[in-house]
Amino acid sequence: MQNHRLELKNITVNNNGKKVVGDFSLTINSGEVHILMGPNGSGKSSLANALFGHPKYEISEGKILLDGEDITNHATDKKAKLDLFLSMQYLPEIAGVTMGQFLFKAYQQIKGGDDSVLDFHKKILEKANEFGIDKSLISKHLNSQISGGEKKQSEVLQMAILGPKFAVLDEIDSGGDIDSLGKIMGAINQLAKNGTGFLLITHYPNILKKITPDYVHIMKEGRIVKSGGHEIIGEIEKTGFNE
What residues pair up with 160 in beta bridges, in sequence order? none
Span 163-188, average pLDDT? 85
Three-state SS annotation for 86-152: EECCCCCCEEEEEHHHHHHHHHHHHHCCCCCHHHHHHHHHHHHHHHCCCHHHHHCEECCCCCHHHHH
- What pLDDT score does 208 carry? 73
Out of 90-99, 103-112, 221-230, 234-243, which region has the weakest mean confidence (pLDDT)? 234-243
Ranges of H-type helices in the chain: 44-51, 76-81, 99-111, 117-131, 148-162, 178-193, 231-239
- What pLDDT score does 101 carry? 93
- What pLDDT score does 180 carry? 79
Domain containing residue 113: 5-239
More confident residue, 162 or 204: 162
pTM greater than 0.85:
yes
Structural domain count, the chain: 1
- What pLDDT score does 92 carry? 82
Core vs surface per residue 196-223: b (16+ CB within 10 A) or e = bbbbbbbbebebbebbebbbbbbbbebb
Span 44-56, average pLDDT? 94
Listing from the earlier edge strand, what are the strands of the sheet with 69-70? Answer: 18-29, 5-15, 57-66, 69-70
- What pLDDT score does 176 carry? 67
pLDDT digits (tens, 9 = 90+) for 2-43: 899 999 999 999 999 899 999 999 999 999 999 999 888 899
| Helices 148-162/99-111 angle, 10° precision | 30
Rounded CA-CA distance 59/42 in Å is 16
Q: Are 166 and 199 in contact (CB under 8 A)?
A: yes
pLDDT digits (tens, 9 = 90+) for 144-162: 888 888 888 899 999 999 9
pLDDT digits (tens, 9 = 90+) for 117-152: 999 999 999 999 998 898 899 999 988 888 888 888
Give the CATH number of the domain where residue 42 resides: 3.40.50.300
**Closest C-alpha among 147, 145, 139, 140 to residue 180:** 147
Residue 155, classified by CB atoms within 10 Å of its CB into exposed (0-12), middle (13-18) or buried (19+), is buried
- What pLDDT score does 243 carry? 55
